[in-house]
Structure 1
């Protein structure tokens, strides 16, 4: 009687079974996937991410960005005005915000955030105002959550942008796109 598999065939079959078992172990840890689950305080040592809003084909997209240092609305605004980095630029993301000669001032009063841009800054387009408003609304939400400010929503944020000699523009977080992200 002839064996069903030769020595080489048995070795190949064992290798295949080993690879299959390894793939199954690596591909599933047995924990079902879920959405976001709110449970207790945030873990320490984990930094919240900024969501900066840039433009691709006339559409606002939120991009998550981890940045060292203190998380605050002013830092989010500064990062936004720097524009997308080279990697995001290659993905087609741009900005409509004008270049700034100096750092903007940011003041918060509850759900209202006031941004003062330096004298000589070009007036903001509607899209630029949306970029700024949505970035601020998201940052305010994260800062509020970190300080125990429950019940806050990004849509409740009202933004006033002042450019000396050029006037004011107003925006609201309720016009921001949902959770579209380009990572």
Structure 2
């Protein structure tokens, strides 16, 4: 009778093959049952854009990134800004210089030009309040322009915040203008 002599290499190859087969069997039976399509909520649509609202801390503008459900537009950003910082932001020392409003402001866009008409009887805006409003609008215009793709906000996704010109009108009081050119840098999520 002939005796087969296996080399060390051959034995290792057999053991490796058995190990791979065992691993494949274990992984293929991980205990997760296969299912069909499971309907659960609305379809994913990607990352929602964030509003950047400008509030004040120690006489300095602070940009605060905030996720808000729903459709993104400049008018909503302005409304959120006039509501002021929420309780959490107030505890972190953020305030607003914007006066309280009696009704919703009217926001119109024409390319890089944005006009905001505040309700009659609104107190005039000081320099810091105008900067809060202007910077919030400049950031919102860029996000809305980039998100629309069609320029429906009259902006261009290739624009910059500094190109935004904001005119604020309070009927019977005066008209004030500002631009996004002096807005602070990147927003923080607070």
- TM-score category, normalised to shorter length: 0.7 to 0.9
- Cα separation, 2, equivalents of 1:116 and 1:69: 23
Q: Alpha-carbon deviations, 1:125-181, whole Å to 9, x = none? A: 000000000000000000111123332111100000000011100010001011152
| TM-score, normalisation: structure 2 | 0.72
| Equivalent in the alignment of 1:95 | 96
Q: Point out the more displaced range, 142-151 or 126-135.
A: 142-151
Q: 4+ residue runs of structure 1 moved beyond 2 angstroms?
A: 147-150
| Equivalent in the alignment of 1:24 | none
| Equivalent in the alignment of 1:84 | 85
Which ranges in structure 2 are unaligned for 5 or more consecutive residues?
1-43, 150-155
| Equivalent in the alignment of 2:138 | 137
RMSD after superposition: 1.2
Asked if structure 2 preserves the Cα contact closer than 8 Å seen for 1:53 and 1:80, the reply is: yes
* SS across alignment from 1:145: helix
Q: How many residues align?
A: 141
| Equivalent in the alignment of 1:156 | 163
* SS across alignment from 1:75: helix
Residue 182 of structure 1, CA deviation: 5.4
- Cα separation, 2, equivalents of 1:159 and 1:47: 25
| Equivalent in the alignment of 2:121 | 120
